Amino acid sequence: MSISYGGLLYWDRTLPLYLHDVTPAGVQLDYVVHESAPALFQRQVQDQHFDVSEMSASTFIILIARGDDRFVGLPLYVSRNFRHGQIYVHAASSIDKPEDLRGKRVGVLEYQMTAALWIRAFLQHDFDVHPHDMRWFTGGLTEPRWEERLTLDLPAGISLERIPPGKTLEQMLADGELDALVTAQPPKSFTAGGDCIRRLFQDYESVERDYYRRTQLFPIMHLVVIRRDVYEANRWLAVALVEAFEQAKAIGQRRLRAITGLAVGLPWLGSALDTVDLLFGGDAFPYGLAANAKTLGAMTQYAYEQGLADRKVEITELCAPEVR
């Protein structure tokens, strides 16, 4: 059976699938690599282009809450990331701590994106800064052309505006037209060494480590979904895919940990792996519903609190019954 898969490429988790070193049982997998996660999600949500794909976790929760069952989830959480380091502020602003964001103009590529969901959650629960405390602006990050993947019906009190045509969020932040930017990647002017943008949390790694020690949450960003029609016609496929992704991750982890010859260009990779062993029990990217129940439960609660979902989704709704 030939199956198309759209996703990003993760060297230590999915590369063996792309190289066909691992093949799901009974499946010829056509792994189509995407560089842009937002473009992939928009394509899949709007056109259902791939049989199987990586998917924004927050978008999937919203769809399930709406009764939109075009996709069936698998407990394959291929992308996770702490996001304290992805709040940027204009260098001349008076924003020095999270509480200073109250009343400020904050840009976000898509209000519903998973990174923004987690950022709003820790601002609310750790610093008492709620989504309605800020003015939100959405639009293109680096290019003016932009389209939301899903329409949203947000609660009263949430101020969300489109930026003017021809403008971009990154340039508006650099020019001081926005006070802050919530994003999933550093602004180009920041990485280029400009002095007009700075991080809100300068020592973000320490903040993120503290967050994990307190909450035991390593934020899930993306999971894998199967198109409903493909799943219903091939119920065995869920198990085959989970087994293959698990095998691919095991191969990638073995290579990553063979530090005699570093698999990636990180001189202190061994030290980083020691931290993974200490804080995460050796696996920072566990698959499976049970191993991720706390994180998924937090996500569904946050989506409900923030008005992205009009009900609290049960975590079992996010996973095919064959692989729960």
Regarding whether 126 and 182 lie in a shared domain, the answer is yes
Identify whether 131 is part of a domain: yes
Tokens of 175: 């020019």
Low-confidence residues in the chain, pLDDT < 50: none
In angstroms, rounded to a whole number, what is the distance separating the alpha carbons of residues 101 and 97? 8
Tokens of 267: 């001189």
Regarding whether 292 and 177 lie in a shared domain, the answer is no
Cα–Cα distance list, 264 to 10, 56, 155, 280, 298 (Å): 12, 26, 44, 20, 32
* Total domain count, the chain: 2
- In this structure, what CATH number is given to the domain that contains residue 123? 3.40.190.10
Identify whether 10 is part of a domain: yes
Do residues 170 and 187 touch, judged by C-beta distance below 8 A?
yes
Identify whether 303 is part of a domain: yes
Identify whether 238 is part of a domain: yes
Regarding whether 136 and 98 lie in a shared domain, the answer is yes
Regarding whether 111 and 132 lie in a shared domain, the answer is yes
First-to-last CA distance in the chain? 24
Torsion of CA 191, 165, 59, 66, to 10 degrees: 160
Regarding whether 186 and 198 lie in a shared domain, the answer is yes
Q: Whole domain around residue 145: which residue ranges?
A: 84-215
Contacts 24+ apart (CB under 8 A), 211-216: 211/82, 211/84, 211/122, 211/126, 212/82, 212/279, 213/279, 215/298, 216/294
Q: What is the pLDDT of residue 146?
A: 78
Regarding whether 300 and 231 lie in a shared domain, the answer is yes
Identify whether 263 is part of a domain: no
Regarding whether 12 and 50 lie in a shared domain, the answer is yes
Identify whether 267 is part of a domain: no
Regarding whether 114 and 54 lie in a shared domain, the answer is no
Tokens of 283: 């696996």
Regarding whether 88 and 46 lie in a shared domain, the answer is no
Question: How many angstroms from the chain centroid is the CA of residue 279?
Answer: 21
Q: What is the pLDDT of residue 170?
A: 95
Q: Looking at the chain, how many residues does it have?
A: 324
Regarding whether 223 and 209 lie in a shared domain, the answer is no
Tokens of 229: 């029609």
